[in-house]
Amino acid sequence: MSYMSVLQCRMSDVGRWAEIWNDWGRDVGLSTGATRATLSQTIMGGDQAGLVTISFIFDSIDAALSGVTAMNEQSRVREAFAEAGVQPVQRSLLQIEQERGEGEGSFYTALVLTGEAPTPEDQAADFDRNFAILSKHGVNGMRLMRSIAGGAMTGAWLNVTYTDSVDTLMAGSREVFADPEMQASMAKSNLQLQSRSISRML
């Protein structure tokens, strides 16, 4: 089981932070135990618009806790935050439940869903079916996560879909939600779509 640490921030100088991230910031995260590190910004998403998201994937919760602590203790990280005007908004921990394809692309959409937990078999079947549809519409990969420490959203699911064209992704999304098997699955687990956001990778 893998876990994603997500830090959402407001920034006065996103461009400067992106330079720092690509210069040495990503490597700091990887050096403290993360297996993957990404930087993105929400473009569309209600009150989430403009937020910059710094994400790290770890192999365990303990690794995530020690890794994030180690990063925060580095003086150059604190100095870089000050230089770019970084203001943390919230940090969450997500458990990765399903993955398909490659989590790469110029953009991604994130759907927040609430409801009852499906069986692992039903969840895997749903994800296989949805990825089979979406991969025909330019989707590179998908990741389903559940918030295990996320304030008011603890227990909610986050379905993240990676693409290089949001137009083609949305065409695939309409097909997914129109699929009778998907509709039956959502009804069975009382799944409710709470929000969608669109982000760009930095």
Report pLDDT digits (tens) over 77-94: 999 999 999 999 999 999
Domain span at residue 58 reads 2-92
pTM reported for the whole predicted model: 0.93
Tell whether 77 and 136 lie within a shared domain: no
The 10s digit of each residue's pLDDT in 92-105 is 999 999 999 999 99
| CATH code, domain carrying 135 | 3.30.70.100
- Quote the pLDDT of residue 188: 93
Among 5, 8, 20, which residue's Cα sits nearest to residue 82?
20
- Using a pLDDT cut of 90, give the percent of the chain over it: 100
- Quote the pLDDT of residue 41: 98
In angstroms, the CA 96 to CA 64 distance is 13
Tell whether 46 and 65 lie within a shared domain: yes
Mean pLDDT of 104-133: 95
Tell whether 67 and 85 lie within a shared domain: yes
Mean pLDDT score of the chain = 96
- Using a pLDDT cut of 70, give the percent of the chain over it: 100
- Quote the pLDDT of residue 76: 95
What is the count of structural domains for the chain?
A: 2
Mean pLDDT of 149-160: 95
